Structure formats: C-alpha cells, structure tokens
Amino acid sequence: MSIFKAYDIRGIVPDQLDEALAYKIGRAYVTFLKCDRVVVGRDARASADAMFEALARGLNDQGADVIDIGRSDTPMLYFAARNEPAAIMITASHNPPAYNGFKMCRENSIPISGDTGIKDMEKIVLEESFAVAARKGAIIKKDALEEFASFTRSFARLDGGRKLKVVVDGANGACGYTYPKIFEGMNIEYIPLYMEPDGTFPNHEANPLLEENLVDIKKKVLETGADLGAAIDGDADRCMFIDERGETVRADVAGAIIARDLLKTSPGAAVLYDLRSTMAAAEDIETYGGRPVMCRVGHAFIKRQMREHDAVFASELSGHFYFKAHNFTESSAIALICMLNLMAETSKKLSELAAPVLRYSHSGEINFEVADKDAVLKKLEEKYGAAGRVFHLDGLSVELDGWRFNVRASNTEPLLRLNLEAADVESMELKKAEVVAIIEGN
C-alpha cells in the first residue's frame, strides 16, 4: 500500500519511508507548492531528527528556506505557520513507534490531502520530475513555544473560579513539549501522567480512542479524586475526556459541551458537528445560540467547511476539536481549557454536563470488513431509503422515525463503519441488529 495517503504521508521507517525518500518528498513538496518558506516541526519519535534532516535538505535544495521550530506538537506547528506560505509536521500521530510521516499544509495551515496535492507529489517523486531550483534555501531556527503557550492560555477564564483538578495523560507523546508551558501558573491542580516525550511509547499506545489505552488515566482520576482527565494522542491534535467517575466521555458529547462554552462569546456562529455525532449535538448547539452545520468525516473536509461557514468550532467523533481562533485547526489544549471554563463557571461535574447530551442511545462506531462496500450501501438504501430521509454527505446516512444511522467507508482502512442512534437502548439494540445483519449478509 502506498505511503501517500488520503490525509498525509505515513509509513514504517525505514522499510517504507527512509531518508532518501524523505529528501525526494521535500523536493516534490516545493516543486508542487512553489513556496519559498516552509515551517517544519517534529514530534517525539526516534526517527524524527533523521527525517527532519533529510526532508530539510530536499526543501533547501529545491529553493525553500526551512523555519525549524524543533520538537513540537501538531497544534504548535499550525500556530507557528498561521502567517506562513507552507508547513510540514513530521509525525505519525497515534501510530506505533516504527512509523513516521508528514502532515502537509499550504498557506494559513490549510491541509494538503490526497485530492489536493499528495497524489501530485507522489507522481513527482516517482518520476523525479523536480523543478529547477533558482537558489538554495537555508535553515532558520525559530522558538515558537512561548508565544504558542501564551496564545493557548488566553482561552482560559479560570481566575477566581473553583480550582479544578485535572489529570493529563500525554502517552509520552509530543504534548510533553508544550503542555507544561501552557498550563504553567494556571488556576488548576495539574496532575501529569506519562508526560515525558518518548517515541517508543513505553507505557501504552498514543491512541486515546482505544479503551485499553485509557486504563491508567481512569485509575489516576479515581485515585486522586480529580475533576476530569484528558488523554492526548501522539501529536496532541486529539483528546478524549474522562469524567470524575472514571468514565469515558464520547467526543461528540464533549464537542457539544465545548460548543456551549464558545457560543457564550460567539452568539449566532456556525458550529460544525460530524455526521456520526449524537442528534443531541445539533439540538444543543441551537439551544445555546449557535447554528448547527453537519459535516463529513476527515480533517481536510472539516477545515474547508469551517472556512466556508466561518464556523467558530467543529468537533469530530475521533477526538479532533477545531477552533476558528486557532486558524481553523485542531487543539487538544484549547478543548481542555474550554471544558475547564464551563465546569468552573457552572460548578458542575463533567458527568453532570454530559448527562443531558446523552439523551439518545448511541451504538458507538462498529467496523466491518466487507468484500463489496458499494453493494452493501446499495442494499441498505434499498431497505430503508423509501421510509426515511437519505443523504450522501459521507457514505450513506438515513434518518427515520425515532432513529438514524450512517454507514461509510473508512478513508484510512479497508472497512465499513456503522454509527447508529435511537431514542432508547432497547430500540437502538433492535435496529443495530437489523442493520448489522444486512451488512454482514445474514
């Protein structure tokens, strides 16, 4: 399988991605984008420095200066690149230690996806059809941490409120470079867990979507009597919340809560929610004075749609939280701060804020390996299409009397993903069994 993927370039080092290929990718990037400056950051992985050196040589040889912000997380890279023509983050996000890769942006941190440049760069690399460089670029060191931390802290409204206790599990990822500075001196009791950057991820995988990676933070929340926990992924662009009871708060529920906080200062603004989210998300956005807009899955699509609607915020079931003030990009730290703001101002526990959003019964995301994805989607539409509202924003979505579902093909894996919601648990389980039987061909 090609390392040139739908949202980034990513592969196993050195089997799929080595320094020679990284050098060519740097040259292809400048050839494609025709940029003269590129901000580059890198996460905690062992191969990060070698990948940087090779990529930077390619960028320089192709005529672009490299603005080197050093070890960082992805939100810091997006911040540092907000007024720059191009940016690359060296990361493989939540993947195992052997992986590395490149998240690529054009001007204003706008992502480059498979459809908007990654496949073009793959072709340039394969053909070695690099443009002739008029000059050789240089490497310019830049310390962006202080300014980034100050900007992120500016979202906090915690002075004078109750002092909340929060456990942050950094999974030994890149947030260990930024979170200590961001939360330094903030009016909270900050309890770090696995915050030392270590690209081998010695304690657990840096993927907070998997419940087995949340065991330690849940235990720590209960042991310390913390008000909440935040589990961060490898490059700190995703966050999953844990309530005071040690229970996971689904990201669509967390997104509805965060939207409530942001709408206090942005009344009437558009707020995006991904089409897998609970029906309560759209209802609550409207209740708190926002304009709910459904969006498809995937950060490149969401960021484009946010700009089209000038949306103040967007959330995704995968734990990505996007902010207009952060150049329409993700920030796990701002998401955590917004959650803390609302908890401090309402004097409510996280479970109490979440409970009203959980008024419907949600299946969670269920994955299926199927031989013919299109045939399955067609069969589902034939079964349910006449009885409900059908749309194809991303895969097949059907809204029926008292329940609804979405089935979509994964952009990153050979899977179909089902999300289903109904008015109560009994109805949800009944309808889930019905839809699953069709997907599995029973």
Task: Tell me the C-alpha distance between 73 and 77, whole Å.
Answer: 7
> By the 8 A CB rule, do 421 and 428 touch?
yes
Q: Count other C-beta atoms under 10 Å from residue 141's C-beta.
A: 9
End-to-end, the C-alpha distance of the chain in Å comes to 31
Q: Count other C-beta atoms under 10 Å from residue 59's C-beta.
A: 26
Catalytic residue status for 266? no
Task: Tell me the C-alpha distance between 379 and 389, whole Å.
Answer: 16
Task: Tell me the C-alpha distance between 46 and 161, whole Å.
Answer: 41
Please return the burial class of 219, using the count of CB atoms within 10 Å of its CB with bins 0-12, 13-18 and 19+. Answer: middle
Residues in Cβ contact with 151 at an 8 Å cutoff, skipping those fewer than 6 apart: 79
Q: Which of 2, 47, 72, 93 is catalytic?
A: 93
> By the 8 A CB rule, do 22 and 14 touch?
no
- Amino acid at the residue 319: G
CA neighbor of 261 nearest in space, from 328, 336, 316: 336
Residue with tokens 């983050």, as numbered in its chain: 89
CA neighbor of 262 nearest in space, from 184, 302, 315: 315
Characterize the bridge pairing of strands 321-323 and 313-315: antiparallel
Max Cα–Cα distance, the chain, nearest Å: 67
Residues in Cβ contact with 307 at an 8 Å cutoff, skipping those fewer than 6 apart: 328
Task: Tell me the C-alpha distance between 105 and 86, whole Å.
Answer: 6
Catalytic residue ranges: 93
